[in-house]
Structure 1
Amino acid sequence: MISVNSILLLFIVLILFLTHMTKLMFRRIHKNGRLAPQLPPGPAPWPIVGCVPEMLSQKPTYRWIHHLMKEMDTDIACIRLGNVHLIPVTCPEIAREFLKKHDATFSSRPTSMAAQMCSGGYLTTILTPYGGQWMKMRRVLVSEIICPARHCWLKDKRTEEADNLVKYIYNQSKSSSGIINVRTTTRQYAGNVIRKLMFSTRYFREERTDGGPTIAEEEHVEAIFTILRYLHAFCISDYFPWLIGLGLDGHEKFVKEAVSTVNNYHDPIMDARIGKWRSFGNWNEESTSNDPQDLLDVLVTLKDSEGKPLLTPEEIKAQITEIMFATVDNPSNAIEWAMAEMINQPEILKTAMDELDRVVGKERLVQECDIPHLNYIKACIREAFRLHPIAPFNPPHMAMSDAIVAGYFIPKGSHVLLSRLGLGRNPKVWNKPLEFRPERHFTNGSTEVHLTEPDLRFISFSTGRRGCVAPMLGTAMTIMLLARMVQGFNWMAPPNVTSINLDESFDDLFLANPLVAHAEPRLPLHLYP
């Protein structure tokens, strides 16, 4: 296997040969002789390779990028990796210019090793570059999968998993001295919800009577988070495609294994269901007499104008897997962080409990119909999205043509990265940005709170053509997760622990250690399923 040092040596040889070309990479001259708008500020790149040596030597890359921007005191930068201009942004005003004023120009996605593997060869919505396939799949999602009617249709399935959440925590509190692994709990809840919506099942194989995950569900969720970790992880082959297959940084191996794990769980279910509804390319007459029971049924039974299947099995499989990725991460991460912050600030936790007692009471469990009235709960979630995002950057937008944004030249093919960290923790936007303060989201005297943030002061569901198409689902999942946990149990740090450690992992933005907390039931016993 070729080592990284060997590749770097090759790069250095190329550098010595082509040094005289560097100035051409950074200056554009108008025909009238005047300088054209320049690229955003950034580090001086090496010829050909750009700043890849720095990227490889200063891990994790996102911390290096944010450190550079802080040193340069800039809200927009340009870092060249190979022949790709990376444009990180930490200013809401500039972010809105990219995703609102110039949304059409920046509505594509770059190709990458991980995106290609995870999207079945770009058959899906989130990861697929702009074009006919993306438009087809987006129409399917918007009209058939995440429309309001479908959201209402699936309400009972979501409620079933919210009930199971309470059951699982209650059983854990009785069998483990009240000690709950909140990370496992939140991630499995999110996995349960989307498995129920997709496949009408919580479990892949055998069930557990206490409502908890088996090894299969744990492996499934772990594989999804592994894929998410490497999906936009600055893999060297993303900037030098001819390196794909060499496995220089190990990303390909991890992604392949994780995708294989997910497919091993998904494919038998989907193959059986497709076989039920279709026979030799034609509709199975017996099956068409039945109504769809879940989202997999919906995707399989969609027809085109000629009455033929609208989606291929490959498109169905890839899109369902992508929906899994898109729904599991944000709710679980936000609520783990929110619970950690609220346990350390008991007055915030009490205010949230008081709201639930006032709106819902203690004689029934909180339901989705209560969500409009749970504004303090929503403020806590907004604050978790702001301060503790799931990833340092939003999925990259790729420029489909040259553009001028914020007075800077953005070349065609640039990868624009809106910084979730930089936007949500920007001291020019937020007072005391590193403090967890839900009250900051009650602005201008308004008491109504939403999880969406169209002004991009932080990123929850983003905006524009590439914004999240399912904010209703994300909102319902996240609020019900926190509301059921806060309503159903008294939470505190474990015995002999004075406070929860809020250190952030160095390699990612999760809590450095999974949140473990003590939970005690606080409702009448008949409410625990």
Structure 2
Amino acid sequence: MPPLDSLFLQDFLAAIFLFFITRYFVRSLVRKRKRKLPPGPKGWPVVGALPLLGSMPHVTLAQLAKKYGPVMYLKMGTCNMVVASTPDAARAFLKTLDLNFSNRPPNAGATHLAYNSQDMVFADYGPRWKLLRKLSNLHMLGGKALEDWSQIRALELGHMVRVMYESSQKREAVVVPEMLTYAMANMIGQVILGRRVFETKGSESNEFKDMVVELMTSAGIFNIGDFIPSIAWMDLQGIEGKMMKLHKRWDALLTKMMEEHAETAHNRKGKPDFLDILMDNTGNPDGEELSLVNVKALLLNLFTAGTDTSSSIIEWALAEMMKNPEVLKKAHEEMDEVVGRNRMLEESDIPKLTYLRAICKETFRKHPSTPLNLPRVSIQACEVNGYYIPKDTRLSVNIWAIGRDPDVWENPMDFNPERFLSGKNAKIEPRGNDFELIPFGAGRRICAGARMGIVLVEYILGTLVHSFDWMVPPETGELNMDEAFGLALQKAVPLSALLRRRLEPSAYVS
């Protein structure tokens, strides 16, 4: 029989062992209870939910959200991702936790297209980003800056309308996105470079349009290498190779623009354009300094996002009106009453055109230019709706799903501008404060060009609707309204239209 103190020692050690084991499991249970991840699909081993997304991720994620809820978690390769699909969920991330989600995750698009995140779109939130944003707002994208280049918008829009008028006289169909890209690139070129980018519409401007679309499409693809970094070198989808080739084309174009701009500096003494102002900040010893790479990267942002997102919204709006002639008729009636038919529409007319502005809002709702907001990433762990969100979790806000949510919008598949004319929706604006309608995102990383985008869409769309009747060419048959996914939501089939003049002939040449 073992001595009493030996038995006591055995019992004591066993008790200690049980105590620590019990405490470990209790803490684990508490930790798991406290760190409950949002619901979501299980996905596959290694690749996670990546194969579930398909070719239209915004649609798939909207369907999954109906099953798993407004805050949904997906394991994407080795990365965590959370998706917000309702206004309240978007508000929680983009307003309440805005600062925690103020950075972008690393990705191939930022590396290979945006000069390794040296631009304004993908740069980390910090001094360099703030300087790029400040300069852009002060001299191009802010309210005062937009007023300063209003004459440029009118001039370039006049050029485009006259080209369209000539096509209408010849009964030739116009390819709408080509016309819009040509006009917008020249508007932006005049502000940035002090000159038009394209003197005539032709192969050069069409190539530019193709480059813009390719960039926005490739940057929007869910790249396997972004979510499983250890195999990124394999480039399984061939995306990164294409990005590198496209980057060389863009870099050559931007280098040429900057060299030609430097050669004409003597012509702009006392009248600096935006590129002059940027170059003045490349050797600033008293504060944050920009590099030439930062300048190129910012120009890339402005020329691509500035042309593609606005032009896609205008194209969708025109297509919806061609499919819904009663909407086009009401817009014409309002414009005839406010503007008449003896002159072109002017920007100062826009505040009086409430139905036109409702059409723009309805297009922002149903066809947001960015269906999934640009991804953000959590700086530290946080909690949303009682769910644990780990550090370094990628965030996507499904703006497309919010705009088509039947719990938010009555008959969301209908194109009905009247929904914005009265009732609770009348005060909703697409400027980032009303989370039912956030086509430009929200919070501190809201699209820097949101104000410019709204101005361009309202003015250009209003002018095109006021100036012409819009008809589907007989050979087209039923209008194709399919989407093509990318960073910007394109029409799968570019819109072609037959035009018929509505104004006095003298209005088109003034």
> Higher mean Cα deviation, 104-113 or 498-507?
498-507
Instruction: Please tell me whether the aligned partners of residues 28 and 35 of structure 1 are also in contact (alpha carbons under 8 angstroms).
Output: no
Shift of 1:505: 4.4
Equivalent position of 2:400 in the other structure:
421
Instruction: Please tell me whether the aligned partners of residues 230 and 251 of structure 1 are also in contact (alpha carbons under 8 angstroms).
Output: yes
Instruction: Please tell me whether the aligned partners of residues 137 and 145 of structure 2 are also in contact (alpha carbons under 8 angstroms).
Output: no
Shift of 1:402: 0.5
Shift of 1:450: 4.3
Shift of 1:459: 2.4
> Higher mean Cα deviation, 445-454 or 186-195?
445-454
> Higher mean Cα deviation, 132-141 or 100-109?
132-141
Secondary structure at the aligned position of 1:315 is classed as helix
Equivalent position of 1:517 in the other structure:
497
Equivalent position of 1:168 in the other structure:
163
Instruction: Please tell me whether the aligned partners of residues 429 and 437 of structure 2 are also in contact (alpha carbons under 8 angstroms).
Output: no
- Aligned CA distance change for structure 1 residues 115 and 443 (closer, same or farther; 3 Å): farther
Shift of 1:133: 2.5
One-letter amino acid matched to 1:440: R
Equivalent position of 2:13 in the other structure:
none
- Aligned CA distance change for structure 1 residues 135 and 31 (closer, same or farther; 3 Å): farther
Instruction: Please tell me whether the aligned partners of residues 224 and 258 of structure 1 are also in contact (alpha carbons under 8 angstroms).
Output: no
- 2:350 counterpart of 1:368: no
Rounded Cα–Cα distance in structure 2 between residues aligned with 1:339 and 1:287: 40
Equivalent position of 1:129 in the other structure:
124
Shift of 1:494: 1.8
- 2:324 counterpart of 1:345: yes
One-letter amino acid matched to 1:424: G
1:185-243 per-position Cα deviation (integer Å, ceiling 9, x unaligned): 23333333222322233334xx33xxxx2211111121111111121311011112333
Rounded Cα–Cα distance in structure 2 between residues aligned with 1:141 and 1:273: 18
> Higher mean Cα deviation, 124-133 or 230-239?
124-133
Q: Identify which of 40, 43, 52 aligns with 2:41.
A: 43
Instruction: Please tell me whether the aligned partners of residues 331 and 356 of structure 2 are also in contact (alpha carbons under 8 angstroms).
Output: yes
Instruction: Please tell me whether the aligned partners of residues 334 and 384 of structure 1 are also in contact (alpha carbons under 8 angstroms).
Output: yes
> Higher mean Cα deviation, 145-154 or 508-517?
508-517
Shift of 1:163: 0.7
Equivalent position of 2:259 in the other structure:
271
- 2:218 counterpart of 1:237: no
1:137-195 per-position Cα deviation (integer Å, ceiling 9, x unaligned): 223323343233322221111111111121121122223x2422223223333333222
Equivalent position of 1:8 in the other structure:
none
Shift of 1:506: 7.5
Shift of 1:336: 1.2
Equivalent position of 1:67 in the other structure:
63
- 2:307 counterpart of 1:319: no
One-letter amino acid matched to 1:265: L
Shift of 1:467: 0.5
Q: How does 1:280-299 map to 2 (within 5 A)?
A: 289-292=269-272, 294-299=273-278
Equivalent position of 1:526 in the other structure:
506
Shift of 1:59: 3.5
Q: How does 1:358-507 map to 2 (within 5 A)?
A: 358-444=337-423, 450-495=429-474, 499-505=478-484
- Aligned CA distance change for structure 1 residues 407 and 448 (closer, same or farther; 3 Å): closer
Secondary structure at the aligned position of 1:490 is classed as strand
| Runs (5+) with no aligned partner, structure 1 | 1-26, 278-285
Secondary structure at the aligned position of 2:373 is classed as coil
1:102-138 per-position Cα deviation (integer Å, ceiling 9, x unaligned): 1111111111111122221222211112233323322
One-letter amino acid matched to 1:67: Q
- Aligned CA distance change for structure 1 residues 446 and 399 (closer, same or farther; 3 Å): closer
> Which protein is richer in helix relative to its size?
2
Shift of 1:489: 0.7
Shift of 1:343: 1.4
Equivalent position of 1:139 in the other structure:
134
Rounded Cα–Cα distance in structure 2 between residues aligned with 1:47 and 1:179: 51
Equivalent position of 2:8 in the other structure:
none
1:44-88 per-position Cα deviation (integer Å, ceiling 9, x unaligned): 244544334545xx4444444333333x24222111112211111
| Runs (5+) with no aligned partner, structure 2 | 1-24
Rounded Cα–Cα distance in structure 1 between residues aligned with 2:156 and 2:430: 21
Equivalent position of 1:186 in the other structure:
180
Q: Identify which of 112, 115, 121 aligns with 2:110.
A: 115
**TM norm structure 1:** 0.84
Q: How does 1:222-261 map to 2 (within 5 A)?
A: 222-261=210-249
Rounded Cα–Cα distance in structure 2 between residues aligned with 1:354 and 1:309: 52
Equivalent position of 2:11 in the other structure:
none
* Greater Rg over alpha carbons, structure: 2
Rounded Cα–Cα distance in structure 2 between residues aligned with 1:39 and 1:120: 35
1:227-266 per-position Cα deviation (integer Å, ceiling 9, x unaligned): 1112131101111233334321011122223222222222
Secondary structure at the aligned position of 1:79 is classed as strand
What is the RMSD computed on CA atoms of the aligned residues?
2.7
Q: Identify which of 198, 201, 204 aligns with 2:195.
A: 201
- Aligned CA distance change for structure 1 residues 288 and 182 (closer, same or farther; 3 Å): closer
Equivalent position of 1:76 in the other structure:
71
Equivalent position of 2:152 in the other structure:
157
Instruction: Please tell me whether the aligned partners of residues 301 and 309 of structure 1 are also in contact (alpha carbons under 8 angstroms).
Output: no
Secondary structure at the aligned position of 2:100 is classed as coil
One-letter amino acid matched to 1:51: A
One-letter amino acid matched to 2:65: M
Instruction: Please tell me whether the aligned partners of residues 124 and 133 of structure 1 are also in contact (alpha carbons under 8 angstroms).
Output: no
> Higher mean Cα deviation, 409-418 or 368-377?
368-377
Rounded Cα–Cα distance in structure 1 between residues aligned with 2:412 and 2:158: 35
One-letter amino acid matched to 2:270: N
Secondary structure at the aligned position of 1:439 is classed as helix
Secondary structure at the aligned position of 1:348 is classed as helix
Rounded Cα–Cα distance in structure 2 between residues aligned with 1:32 and 1:479: 54
Instruction: Please tell me whether the aligned partners of residues 338 and 349 of structure 2 are also in contact (alpha carbons under 8 angstroms).
Output: yes
- Aligned CA distance change for structure 1 residues 497 and 131 (closer, same or farther; 3 Å): closer
Rounded Cα–Cα distance in structure 1 between residues aligned with 2:260 and 2:183: 25
Rounded Cα–Cα distance in structure 2 between residues aligned with 1:203 and 1:319: 17
Rounded Cα–Cα distance in structure 1 between residues aligned with 2:79 and 2:289: 36
Instruction: Please tell me whether the aligned partners of residues 309 and 370 of structure 2 are also in contact (alpha carbons under 8 angstroms).
Output: no
**TM norm structure 2:** 0.87
Secondary structure at the aligned position of 2:75 is classed as strand
1:402-452 per-position Cα deviation (integer Å, ceiling 9, x unaligned): 010122111111111011221100111011111100011123388677443
Rounded Cα–Cα distance in structure 2 between residues aligned with 1:136 and 1:29: 46
Instruction: Please tell me whether the aligned partners of residues 442 and 449 of structure 1 are also in contact (alpha carbons under 8 angstroms).
Output: no
Shift of 1:324: 1.6
One-letter amino acid matched to 1:240: I
Rounded Cα–Cα distance in structure 2 between residues aligned with 1:130 and 1:307: 20
Instruction: Please tell me whether the aligned partners of residues 105 and 399 of structure 1 are also in contact (alpha carbons under 8 angstroms).
Output: yes
Rounded Cα–Cα distance in structure 2 between residues aligned with 1:471 and 1:79: 30
Instruction: Please tell me whether the aligned partners of residues 322 and 471 of structure 2 are also in contact (alpha carbons under 8 angstroms).
Output: yes
Rounded Cα–Cα distance in structure 2 between residues aligned with 1:379 and 1:352: 10
